[in-house]
């Protein structure tokens, strides 16, 4: 079985790596810089690691003519939203066009698989017609189609590709059998969804549910802060009941949880079904940036310091812990909102230091911490293992005499911080 993986990001690259151990696989990405980095054995995602990458000669390209005549094409590209929060399907459309051209007039009847998150029905409405148009092949005659959503959790080892149940679906039985054989190489458990639309729906509601649960915890944490009780203590007590679902408050960024509700909401409006819950968590979770900023400014002023004279240090600015991805990072959005209101904001994140996406913030990013400079406020924003292992005395040593330490993820004992979620 010859396989082509389209899109070599946080989803596509690990998939390419594991499939290459068993099949003939090529990875395609139109970003020439990514291909150059991979050929230099540099893992820009942090999901594989440079050491493991050096042991294997991954076949990668940005040349479209090199991806012709493969048996399976797997599309792993981002599905963001536009400024008005409607789905941006441009990456998917472009990929389907590329695949369509690659299989034009093909006699091998390839299977095209989408792994990107979409609303239910997107494959049928958007992807299949584009592939038909550019391939000159008829759906379920000249090519077949499958949907198998990515479900990995970047930065978390227990939720990687090889130990997360893989949902698969396909447009016919023979394709389903082939996809099951393919994905059994990379996943311990396979779940066969009833059909493609069901698989699409399953993926998108996973993140909607999570967004709503985190929003609830965020609202509760604001109440608990007001009445001076510790959110973490409340959650530990509540979690002793067998049916309590444990979620923690926090900023919701990245390219999944804060994005996917808009895909289902878009579908809901399109088919004229009223929804009240799907986007209910978005308003609360987006407000958390302002909540943190308001408390930051309030506490700085309470010490007699003018905002325009204050220096702030933010520890961690990726969208989640132990992952170098800064896309849709709420920490960087906080930085953007406060940078012109204070004297200086320094950023430090040892995980993201080599991420090309931080170039716009380069002049504010520290390569290492200096314990000679003292800050009016220090914000520990991301629960990287690096920070969890730090001595609290060292972190407090970064603060000036006012000791304004914001422990947003409640990593250290409450007595050390002036604010936490």
Among 238, 257, 280, identify where a domain stops: 280
User: What pLDDT, on a 0 to 100 scale, did the predictor assign at position 155?
Assistant: 62
pLDDT band at 254 (very low <50, low <70, confident <90, very high): confident
User: What pLDDT, on a 0 to 100 scale, did the predictor assign at position 350?
Assistant: 95
Statement to judge: residues 317 and 208 lie in one domain = no
pLDDT band at 75 (very low <50, low <70, confident <90, very high): very high
User: What pLDDT, on a 0 to 100 scale, did the predictor assign at position 157?
Assistant: 57
Statement to judge: residues 337 and 226 lie in one domain = no
Percent of the chain residues past pLDDT 70, beyond the cut: 98
Statement to judge: residues 270 and 297 lie in one domain = no
pLDDT band at 106 (very low <50, low <70, confident <90, very high): confident
Q: Is the pLDDT of residue 161 over 80?
A: no
Whether residue 421 is contained in a domain is answered as no
Number of domains into which the chain is organized: 3
Whether residue 292 is contained in a domain is answered as yes
- The whole domain housing 315 covers 282-416
Tell me the average pLDDT across 160-172.
88
3-class DSSP string for the chain: CEEEEECCCCCHHHHHHHHCCCCEEEEECCCHHHHHHHHCCCCCCCCCCHHHHHHCCCCEECCHHHHCCCCEEEECCCCCECCCCCECCHHHHHHHHHHHHHCCCCCCCCEEEECCCCCCCHHHHHHHHHHHHHHCCCECCCEEEEECCCCCCCCCHHHCHHHCCEEEEECCHHHHHHHHHHHCCCCCCEEECCCHHHHHHHHHHHHHHHHHHHHHHHHHHHHHHHCCCCHHHHHHHHCCCCCCCCCCCCCCCCCCCCCHHHHHHHHHHHCCCCCCCCCHHHHHHHHHHHHHHHHHHHHHHHCCCCHHHCEEEEECCCCCCCCCCCCCCHHHHHHHHHCCCCCEEEEECCCCCCCHHHHHHHHHECCCCCCCCCECEEEECCCCHHHHCCCHHHHHCCECCCCCEEECCCCCCHHHCCECC
Q: Is the pLDDT of residue 158 over 90?
A: no
pLDDT digit string (tens) for 172-204?
999 999 999 999 999 989 999 999 999 999 999
Q: Is the pLDDT of residue 152 over 80?
A: no
User: What pLDDT, on a 0 to 100 scale, did the predictor assign at position 252?
Assistant: 95
Among 257, 280, 303, identify where a domain stops: 280
User: What pLDDT, on a 0 to 100 scale, did the predictor assign at position 162?
Assistant: 73
pLDDT digit string (tens) for 345-393?
999 999 998 888 898 999 999 999 989 999 999 999 999 999 999 999 9
Tell me the average pLDDT across 33-50.
89
Predicted model pTM? 0.92
- What positions carry a catalytic annotation? 256
Q: Is the pLDDT of residue 156 over 70?
A: no
User: What pLDDT, on a 0 to 100 scale, did the predictor assign at position 159?
Assistant: 59
Q: Kindly report the CATH number assigned to the domain that includes residue 130.
A: 3.40.50.720
Q: Is the pLDDT of residue 265 over 80?
A: yes
pLDDT digit string (tens) for 313-350?
999 999 999 999 998 999 999 999 999 999 999 999 99
């Amino acid at each position: 079985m010859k396989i082509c993986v389209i899109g070599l990001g946080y989803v596509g690259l690990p998939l390419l790596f594991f499939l290459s151990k068993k099949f003939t696989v090529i990875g395609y990405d139109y970003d020439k810089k990514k291909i150059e980095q991979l050929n230099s054995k540099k893992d820009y995602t942090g999901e594989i690691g440079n050491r493991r990458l050096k042991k294997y000669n991954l076949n990668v390209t940005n040349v479209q003519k090199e991806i012709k005549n493969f048996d399976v094409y797997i599309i792993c590209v981002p599905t963001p939203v536009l400024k008005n929060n409607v789905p941006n399907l441009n990456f998917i459309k472009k990929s389907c066009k590329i695949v369509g051209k690659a299989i034009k007039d093909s006699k091998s009847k390839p299977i095209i698989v989408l792994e990107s998150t979409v609303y239910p029905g997107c494959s049928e409405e958007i992807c299949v017609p584009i592939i038909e148009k550019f391939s000159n092949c008829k759906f379920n005659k000249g090519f077949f189609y499958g949907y198998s959503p990515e479900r990995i959790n970047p930065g978390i080892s227990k939720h990687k590709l090889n130990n997360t149940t893989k949902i698969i679906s396909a447009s016919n039985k023979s394709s389903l059998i082939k996809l099951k054989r393919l994905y059994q190489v990379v996943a311990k458990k396979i779940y066969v969804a009833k059909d493609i639309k069901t698989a699409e729906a399953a993926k998108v509601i996973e993140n909607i549910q999570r967004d709503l649960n985190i929003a609830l915890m965020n609202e509760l944490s604001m109440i608990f802060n007001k009445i001076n009780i510790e959110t973490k203590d409340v959650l530990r007590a509540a979690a002793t009941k067998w049916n309590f679902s444990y979620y923690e408050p926090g900023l919701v960024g990245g390219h999944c949880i804060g994005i996917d509700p808009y895909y289902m909401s878009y579908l809901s409006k399109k088919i004229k079904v009223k929804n009240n819950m799907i986007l209910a968590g978005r308003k609360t979770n987006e407000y958390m940036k302002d909540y943190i900023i308001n408390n930051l400014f309030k506490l700085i002023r309470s010490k007699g310091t003018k905002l325009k004279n204050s220096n702030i240090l933010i520890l961690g600015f990726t969208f989640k812990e132990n992952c170098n991805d800064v896309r849709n990072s709420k920490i960087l959005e906080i930085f953007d909102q406060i940078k012109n209101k204070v004297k200086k904001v320094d950023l430090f994140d040892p995980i993201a230091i080599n991420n090309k996406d931080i170039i716009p913030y380069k002049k504010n990013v520290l390569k290492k911490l200096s314990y000679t400079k003292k800050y009016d406020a220090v914000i520990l924003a991301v629960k990287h293992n690096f920070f969890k292992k730090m001595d609290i005395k060292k972190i407090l040593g970064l603060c000036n005499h006012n000791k304004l330490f914001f422990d947003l993820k409640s990593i250290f004992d409450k007595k050390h911080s002036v604010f936490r979620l």
